[in-house]
Amino acid sequence: AQKITQTQPGMFVQEKEAVTLDCTYDTSDQSYGLFWYKQPSSGEMIFLIYQGSYDEQNATEGRYSLNFQKARKSANLVISASQLGDSAMYFCAMGEESNYQLIWGAGTKLIIKP
Amino acid sequence: EAGVAQSPRYKIIEKRQSVAFWCNPISGHATLYWYQQILGQGPKLLIQFQNNGVVDDSQLPKDRFSAERLKGVDSTLKIQPAKLEDSAVYLCASSSWGRSGRAGNEQFFGPGTRLTVL
């Protein structure tokens, strides 16, 4: 069965430091996609970054990068030079080619300290 | 490009009352999703539409929840009668169908409706 695990319920990080949010997944499909979303206190889900299972390069989007280790089934989000506005819930999700649904992790609450 | 619209943003009702939420997806997006998100948890899919047909409603509590998507565009989610445990944020998302070259589809979310049942 498909599953997403985020083992860090909460994290405190000093402003300007880099932070890594963990995500592991389980699937029997060969073709799948991994997504990271940010949810500020306002409640809206904001798409951050996508990694396809066949992508050879790790995805990057500005200050966000995805450390994709396929053999270990992990897709960690790295935020470089954290900012106060990065404080939010972060969700890892997985989509499979066979359907158009996302399987969601429980999320990590990130708090950036000034 | 306009995003996903939802209304109302907030709703407070008493248990056993009914409530309805509205969603307008991004223009041209064939797939529409309704999620329930309990505080501190990830989103839980309630129902998925493809155009105006239901793809998956296996987690929709059909004794009290109903949803429709008329003409394959706007959608309405209704709860009747509401229970205390229905207090949550209800998120609507949409995605385009069959985006080539990508496994899994990026979903675009609306601002959500925060429901409080007293």
Q: How confident is the model at residue A98 (pLDDT cuts 50, 70, 90)?
A: low
Give mean pLDDT, residues B39-60: 91
Give dist(CA A38, CA A101) in Å, integer.
Answer: 18
Give dist(CA B20, CA B37) in Å, integer.
Answer: 16
pLDDT in tens, A70-96: 999 999 999 999 999 999 999 999 987
**Across the interface, do B105 and A100 touch by the CB < 8 Å criterion?**
yes
**Contacts of A90 by beta carbon, 8 Å cutoff, 6+ apart:** A21, A36, A37, A38, A39, A48, A77, A107, A108, A109, A110
Distances (CA, A) of B83 to A6, B11, B64, B93: 30, 14, 9, 24
Q: How confident is the model at residue B100 (pLDDT cuts 50, 70, 90)?
A: very low
Q: Determine the number of helices (DSSP H) and then strands (DSSP E) in chain B.
A: 0, 11
Q: How many angstroms away from the CA of B81 is the closest CA of chain A?
A: 25
**Contacts of B113 by beta carbon, 8 Å cutoff, 6+ apart:** B6, B7, B8, B9, B10, B11, B21, B89, B90
pLDDT in tens, A22-54: 999 999 888 888 999 999 998 889 999 999 888
Find where tokens 């944020």 sit: B89
Give dist(CA B98, CA A83) in Å, integer.
Answer: 35
pLDDT at A28: 87
B98 has pLDDT over 70: no
**Across the interface, do B106 and A50 touch by the CB < 8 Å criterion?**
yes
**Across the interface, do B41 and A106 touch by the CB < 8 Å criterion?**
yes
Give dist(CA A78, CA B105) in Å, integer.
Answer: 22
Query: What type of residue sits at position A9?
Result: P
Give dist(CA A81, CA A77) in Å, integer.
Answer: 13
Tell me whether B47 touches chain A (CB under 8 Å). no
Tell me whether A95 touches chain B (CB under 8 Å). yes
For B70-84, b where at least 16 C-beta lie within 10 A, e where not — what string? eeebebebebeebee
Do residues B110 and B6 lie in contact, with contact meaning Cβ atoms separated by under 8 Å?
Answer: yes
